Structure formats: structure tokens, C-alpha cells
Amino acid sequence: MNIQFLGGAREVGRSAILVNDSLLLDYGMLTGNPPQYPVGDVDPDAVVVTHGHLDHVGLLPSLLSRDDWPPIHWTPPTYELTRLLARDTLKLHGGSYDCPFTGAEIKRLTQVSEPHGYREPFEAAGHEITFFNAGHIPGSAHVLVDDGETRLLYTGDFHTGDQRLLSGTTARPDADIVLCESTYSDVDRGDRAATERQFAESVETTVWEGGTVVVPAFAIGRTQEMLMVCEAHDIDCYVDGMGTQVTRMLRQQSEFVRDPDALQRAVSNARFVTGKNGQRKRIARKNTVIVTTSGMLTGGPAMTYIPEIRANPVNKIAMTGYQVEGTPGRDLLEHGRGEIDGRVMPVSAQVESYDFSAHADRDGLLSFLDSYRDAAVLVNHGDRCDAFAEELGADGYDADAPELGSRYEIAGDGATTRV
């Protein structure tokens, strides 16, 4: 087997791995200004996709601009999320470098789509492929690739811990080589239940004091998780932004969530915002909780809510995930001011941050990899891939951190050579 790293190597974003020059695993973009795309020109026979986040699926429609369209294999939620994200990219950036595909190519996704469930082996470009639940977002999968000689396990993004929306990954299929994400390889996260309690108490306090709480949340996974947290703690809330569409979609894909009844209760507990007729400004004046995109305050209905609530120190902004450097969310946390909708605004409202991450932390990564002490390990998708690979090496693993564009030859027993 040979593997080439076209993206996501020693970086987060634009994941793309080519196996045996024929099978493409993920095809994402690195969002930013300007966005970055995987390196090289790729013309795969088939594509297999781990999960519906932009950094893994953002560029898929661009593979459908030629005459021969490769089939795309994924779980049903990943298909739905990819279409949703592609339509959003087209709406925001259509006709510019930031959107290297058109509406016609988005429509073709449906024609090439090959949906599969977990643990149902299928064939793609001459390889046997099996998906296993990765516990990251609904539909997320570890991908096992068997070319008849070598078994490669590509973890994709995964979580070993339980969330309300999803159970953590328990699948540890046999493999000769593991390509493992390492996003939070230096983070030791506290107890999830304690984080949830602190969040709930803080939000309730603000509501009792007569304030408004804005909860910025990523559309996929996090919005639904926060609705479930609110319901579990008897907190009434509104929900707004792209997360409302994802929530509706997930109700049709109930076998991909941990507890469909709990999700249904959370949906019933939340009031869905349409945004018509100044509804958002009216809600922002209410003594309530608003779960809304975007998670890092880079856009979405949060751009309406934050200016409305920012001046009153009784109000609160409760972040629910990691804030990338340079985003308004990060600036608000660190400096109490941030650029909201093109205007730098000071914020008197309280700003707090809670770690509801959907990725394994250091302990989670190590416990996962403990099942693969006899396999070769290649580390990708992280800011410190090389450091983590070195730490694994010191712990007895055969580990390496591929560089962008690099190519590896893997023997049947997992022996790995960079070529």
C-alpha cells in the first residue's frame, strides 16, 4: 500500500489522503483568508469520507467538474452535511476563489453518492472499506481500508468520551497501520459533567439576574449538544442559525444519534428562530438563552445578537468550544472587544468559555492508540503532530508525523518507509 498526504499533514484543515494512487480519503479545505486547498492535482477512482466538517469535505464538489465523476462513499448524515456546507460556501463565496465549484457540481453530489452504515463492508476502487462509529459528530466514521495486503485504519476526527448527542468511539478494528488525528494531543480536559454543571449554573444565574445569554455554537453537533444540555437542566432557550437546519436533518437520521428521544425533548424545549420581522432584536431584549451560530462569532445570527446585548454587564456570552486565534470569539475572550460584523466593539457583557469539545483529549488519544501498539502509527490533523509522534516514539510506538506532500510505502506487516 502507498499513501500520499495532500493535506492535513502537520496542520488542522484541508484533510486529503490518497491511497494506492486511486482511493481518496477526505477532501477538505483550510478555512481562512484566503482558504487553502489540498496540494497536487487529484483524479481518484473513488472517494471515501470520514465526516461532514468543512476541513474534511469542503472541496468535494470540485471533484465533479470533470467528465468522469468518482463515486463518493459516506454515511447518510455526512452526505447531508456536505451538501449543506457546500450550499453555504456557494452562498457566501460563489463566483470567487473561495468557492472553487458551482451549483451544478453540488447537484452532482446526489448522483455520485453511495451511502453506507457502520460495520457494513463495501468496495471502493478495489479496496474493502468498513466504517466504524467515531463518536465525533453524527455520521462520523473511522475508515478501515484493506487492499488485500495491508489494513489501514484512518481514524478521522474522533472522541472517546460520551456526549449527550453521541457515545464515544468503542471500535478498535485490527489494523497494520493507523493514521491518527492529534488535534488535542496536549490538552487534558476536565470532567465533562462538571463542565456541563458549571455552564448550566452560570447561565441560570444570568437569567435569574434578568440578563440575556448568547451561546455561540457550531452548527454541526455543538448546537444540538447545547440544546440537549439546556433541556436536561430545565433551561428554556431559543435556537438560531445553520444549527436549526442541522437539527431538523438529524431528526430524520435518528440511528446516528445516541438517544433520539432525548434529542426530540431538546427540540421541543427550544424555540426555533426564523429571523423574520426583527424577531432577533426582540428576542435579544428578553430574559432568555439563545443558542446560535457561529461558534467563533465570525458570522451568522450572532452578528445581530451580540451588538444588542453587549452593553449590559448583566448579560453574558458563553462560548462552547475552542476559539481559533484571530477570530472575534478569541478577541472577546482575551481583550473584551472584537470585530462583530465589520465593526470593532467593546463588550461590557460577561464573556465565558466552556470546553464542550467533540475531540479526544490527550488521555483519549493515548487510550485509543493503546490498542495499536503493534501497528505503525502516522499522526496527522494537529498543530503539534511531530511532537506527539516523538512522544509516542519514546513510549515504544513506531510513529511518524508525515509532512505535506510526503509519500509512504507500507509493507503487509505495517513496516513503513517514506519514499
Least Cβ distance, residue 86 to Zn ion (angstroms)? 16
Least Cβ distance, residue 340 to Zn ion (angstroms)? 26
Nearer to Zn ion, 50 or 288 (CB): 50
**Exposed e or buried b per residue across 9-33, where buried means at least 16 C-beta atoms within 10 angstroms of its C-beta:** bbbbbbbbbbbbebbbbbbbbbbee
How would you classify the pairing of strands 416-418 and 177-181?
unpaired
State how far the alpha carbon of 285 is from the alpha carbons of 29, 278, 311, 349, in Å.
37, 12, 12, 13
Task: Quote the radius of gyration of the chain (alpha carbons, Å).
Answer: 21
Least Cβ distance, residue 144 to Zn ion (angstroms)? 18
Nearer to Zn ion, 58 or 414 (CB): 58
What's CA 334's distance to the chain center, in Å?
24
DSSP states of 260-324: HHHHHHHHHHEEEP--GGGHHHHHHTSSSEEEES-TTSSSSTHHHHHHHHTT-TT-EEEE-S---
Neighbours of 34 (CB within 10 A): 11
Nearer to Zn ion, 211 or 321 (CB): 321
Nearer to Zn ion, 26 or 146 (CB): 26
Nearer to Zn ion, 283 or 319 (CB): 319
Nearer to Zn ion, 5 or 158 (CB): 158
Which H/E stretch holds residue 199?
Answer: helix 192-208
Q: Give the integer Cα–Cα distance in Å for 294 and 21.
A: 37
Neighbours of 276 (CB within 10 A): 7
What's CA 25's distance to the chain center, in Å?
16
Nearer to Zn ion, 53 or 222 (CB): 53
Least Cβ distance, residue 51 to Zn ion (angstroms)? 6
Angle, helix 76-93 to helix 242-251, in steps of 10 degrees:
160
Least Cβ distance, residue 81 to Zn ion (angstroms)? 10
Q: Give the integer Cα–Cα distance in Å for 65 and 298.
A: 30
Nearer to Zn ion, 134 or 144 (CB): 134
Nearer to Zn ion, 44 or 52 (CB): 52
Q: Angle at Cα 48 formed by Cα 249 and Cα 384, nearest 5°?
A: 95
Least Cβ distance, residue 157 to Zn ion (angstroms)? 4
Tell the residue number behind the cell numbers 456526549, with chain if given.
163
How would you classify the pairing of strands 177-181 and 151-154?
parallel
Report residue 110: phi and psi, to 5°. -65, -40
Least Cβ distance, residue 159 to Zn ion (angstroms)? 10
Least Cβ distance, residue 238 to Zn ion (angstroms)? 26
Q: Give the integer Cα–Cα distance in Å for 373 and 175.
A: 10
Nearer to Zn ion, 53 or 73 (CB): 53
Nearer to Zn ion, 177 or 358 (CB): 358
* Footprint on this chain of Zn ion (rule: CB under 5 A): 53, 157
Least Cβ distance, residue 18 to Zn ion (angstroms)? 20
Q: Give the integer Cα–Cα distance in Å for 253 and 75.
A: 10
Least Cβ distance, residue 381 to Zn ion (angstroms)? 9
With beta carbons less than 8 A apart as the criterion, state whether 162 and 359 touch: no
Least Cβ distance, residue 53 to Zn ion (angstroms)? 4
